[in-house]
């Protein structure tokens, strides 16, 4: 049996776990990353065809982590966001140039992100990746946590760590092993995702149509393609997934309000059942939950990974501050975990709250609610200060803004992460 002693064990090497491994490098800790699925396996759940809209704060964090340079070639800037409701006049148009910004953020394919981060991990000197190993058991022992894992052929490994970070997704095994209960809300919706090519150039415009059966988004993507995210009631999903291409494209064109003319080419369709998972706590003794393990949310506001990146940047900052202040370098001290949770709670709670409210507000056919959402869109459309506030929140600037999101160094006299 393989045995390891490490400072920080990250369980889950998906979007969040792998990014965290990069963020922790300059702090001098020995880090171990445990991932259940082999990198090139078609079933790797985190690095799929999803197009991820990343706010400007997230792009800055990724730049600080040394990942943006390679990602930039794969990224498409979002210069305009257009939010509308079918059959209603109110429409919000946020233009980055009008706010003196080059863009609000970028769109990156999760698969491209996976390729970049997985190529980067082997260059990190204080990181060991154990993959494919699935964490199965956990116990506390002498100021540390021991995690047991197993691979597909039954080989076992044991990792002893001073801090365990659970980045093992919405169905987190670590969360279950700790007995942390999570509240799950099933939206009864399925997100259908695919790449489509519209007749007209997207010119950096992102469209979100808020319909009572679920939100519909077209995100600007490479090669004049758009990333389509179409949320529909579960009962409609199978039919849409099986529908002949031309019929699907015609339906999607209508749903898009013909925003970019007819949608002409369709990539592979895949689907996601949508639910919100929020645990009762984001920590236990020497354990933190991060990313989807701590908050899986509806994709309506494109906030899930953005939130996870702010978690990462804040954890790195808290640990750096602990070192700067001459406190023990033990990364699993309760004081550090409490500080992290306190800094992250407002952003997490607000994002979870408004994401769910948006699904509820736009999913209702009640006359009063329809009127309320018309008024809300109308007010935003008319009030530039409200637009700026909305844009800055969507870009990820809210609550405690971690230094990495501001482009500031994590540690004094520190020249940056290796790229
Ligand atoms: C349709 C859709 C569109 C989205 N669009 C956006 C967007 O535009 N912008 C945005 O910011 N977010 C978006 N999101 C959200 C984003 O995808 C998630 O926030 C993100 O995937 C969370 O990453 P994670 O690493 O926390 O979890 P996951 O992606 O679930 O990764 C978990 C990892 O842990 C591994 N693992 C699981 N169990 C174990 C174990 N026991 N031992 C070891 N490893 C384990 C898994 O193999 C996996 O690699 C979208 C989500 C959906 C569904």
Confidence of residue 24 (pLDDT cuts 50, 70, 90): very high
pLDDT score recorded for residue 419: 45
The pLDDT score that the predictor gives to residue 332 is 96
- Separation of alpha carbons 61 and 58, rounded Å: 5
Condensed to tens digits (0 to 9), the pLDDT of residues 130-184 reads 999 999 999 999 899 999 999 999 999 999 999 999 999 999 999 999 999 999 9
What are the tens digits of pLDDT across the range 29-61? 999 999 999 877 566 667 778 899 999 999 999
The kind and range of the H/E element at 53 are strand 51-55
CB 356 within 8 A of CB 363: no
Expressed in percent and rounded to 5, the helix, strand and coil fractions of the chain are 40, 30, 30
- Domain 2-76+107-184+276-361+399-406: state its class: alpha beta
Q: Where are the domains of the chain?
A: 2-76+107-184+276-361+399-406
Q: Compute the distance between CA of residue 397 and CA of residue 389 in angstroms, rounded to an integer.
A: 9
Residue-level pLDDT at 171: 98
C-beta atoms surrounding 49 within 10 Å: 15
Nearest-CA residue for ligand 1 atom 11 is: 305
Angle between helices 334-363 and 367-382 (to 10 degrees): 110
Q: 20 C-alpha vs ligand 1 centroid, how far in Å?
A: 13
Q: Are 61 and 404 in contact (CB under 8 A)?
A: yes
**Residue 357 confidence class, pLDDT cut points 50, 70, 90:** confident
pLDDT tens track for 67-98: 999 999 999 999 999 998 887 767 888 999 99
Rounded to two decimals, the pTM is 0.94
Q: Is the pLDDT of residue 234 over 80?
A: yes
Note the residue count of the chain. 419
- Measured in Å, residue 117 CA sits from the centre of ligand 1 at 14
DSSP symbol at 35? -
Q: What is the pLDDT of residue 359?
A: 84
Which residue of 299, 308, 351, 352 sits with most ligand 1 atoms within 8 Å of its CB, as the best mutation to test the pocket? 299
Per-residue confidence band for 210, with pLDDT thresholds at 50, 70 and 90 = confident
How many other CB atoms are there within 10 angstroms of residue 73's CB atom?
Answer: 9
**What is the average pLDDT score of the chain?**
91
| Mutation test residue for ligand 1: of 228, 292, 296, 359, the one with most atoms within 8 Å of CB | 292
User: Which pLDDT score is estimated for 418?
Assistant: 47
- Give the model's pLDDT for residue 358: 82
**What gap in Å lies between CA 70 and CA 63, rounded to an integer?**
9
Burial-class residue 306 by CB neighbours within 10 Å (0-12, 13-18, 19+). buried
Q: Please, which pLDDT band fits residue 416 given cuts at 50, 70 and 90?
A: low
> What's the sign of the alpha-carbon dihedral 167, 172, 178, 181?
positive
Q: Which of the four pLDDT bands, split at 50, 70 and 90, describes residue 328?
A: low
Distance of CA 48 to the CA centre of its chain: 13
Half-sphere exposure of 332 (CA within 13 A, CB side): 23
Asked whether residue 316 carries a pLDDT value surpassing 70, the answer given is: yes
CA of 12 to the centre of ligand 1 (A): 9
What is the mean predicted confidence (pLDDT) over 279-294?
98
Listed residue (64, 27, 15) closest to 406, CA to CA? 64
Q: How confident is the model at residue 327 (pLDDT cuts 50, 70, 90)?
A: low
DSSP helix/strand/coil, 229 = strand
Considering just the CA atoms, what is the radius of gyration of the chain in Å?
21
Ligand 1-lining residues (CB < 6 angstroms): 11-17, 34-37, 45-46, 50, 52-53, 134-135, 167-169, 173, 191, 193, 229, 272, 291-292, 299, 302-306, 308
Mean pLDDT, residues 343-352: 95
Q: How confident is the model at residue 19 (pLDDT cuts 50, 70, 90)?
A: very high
Q: Kindly give the number of the ligand 1 atom that is closest to the alpha carbon of 304.
A: 19
């Amino acid at each position: 049996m393989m045995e390891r002693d490490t400072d920080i064990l990250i369980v889950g090497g998906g979007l969040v776990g792998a990014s965290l491994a990069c963020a922790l490098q300059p702090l001098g800790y020995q880090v171990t990353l445990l991932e259940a699925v082999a990198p090139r396996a078609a079933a790797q759940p985190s690095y799929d065809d999803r197009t991820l809209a990343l706010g400007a704060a997230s792009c800055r964090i990724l730049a600080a982590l040394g990942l943006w340079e390679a990602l930039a070639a794969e990224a498409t800037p979002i210069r305009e966001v257009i939010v509308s409701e079918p059959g209603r006049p109110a429409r919000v148009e946020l233009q980055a140039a009008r706010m003196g910004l080059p863009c609000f953020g970028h769109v990156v394919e999760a698969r491209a992100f996976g390729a970049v981060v997985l190529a980067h991990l082997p260059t990190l000197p204080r990181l060991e990746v154990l993959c494919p190993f699935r964490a199965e058991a956990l116990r506390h022992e002498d100021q540390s946590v021991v995690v047991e894992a197993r691979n597909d052929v039954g080989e076992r490994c044991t990792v002893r760590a001073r801090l365990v970070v659970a980045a093992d997704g919405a169905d987190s095994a670590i969360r279950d092993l700790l007995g942390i209960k999570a509240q799950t809300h099933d939206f009864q919706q399925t997100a259908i995702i695919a790449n489509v090519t519209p007749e007209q150039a997207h010119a950096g415009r992102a469209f979100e149509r808020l319909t009572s059966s679920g939100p519909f988004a077209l995100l600007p993507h490479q090669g004049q393609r758009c990333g389509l995210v179409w949320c529909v009631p579960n009962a409609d999903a199978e039919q849409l997934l099986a529908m002949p291409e031309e019929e699907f494209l015609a339906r999607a064109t209508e749903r898009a309000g013909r925003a970019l003319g007819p949608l002409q080419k369709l990539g592979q369709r895949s689907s996601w059942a949508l639910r919100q998972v929020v645990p009762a706590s984001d920590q236990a003794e020497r354990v933190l939950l991060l990313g989807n393990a701590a908050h899986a949310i509806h994709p309506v506001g494109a906030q899930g990974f953005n939130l996870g990146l702010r978690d990462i940047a804040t954890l790195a900052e808290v640990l750096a501050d602990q070192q700067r202040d001459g406190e023990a370098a033990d990364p699993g001290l309760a004081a550090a975990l409490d500080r992290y949770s306190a800094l992250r709670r407002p952003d997490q709670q607000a994002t979870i709250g408004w994401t769910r409210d948006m699904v509820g507000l736009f999913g209702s056919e009640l006359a009063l609610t329809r009127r309320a959402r018309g008024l809300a869109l109308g007010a935003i459309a008319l009030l530039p200060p409200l637009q700026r506030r909305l844009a800055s929140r969507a870009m990820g600037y809210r609550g405690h803004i971690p230094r990495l999101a501001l482009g500031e160094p994590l540690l004094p006299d520190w020249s940056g992460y290796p790229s």
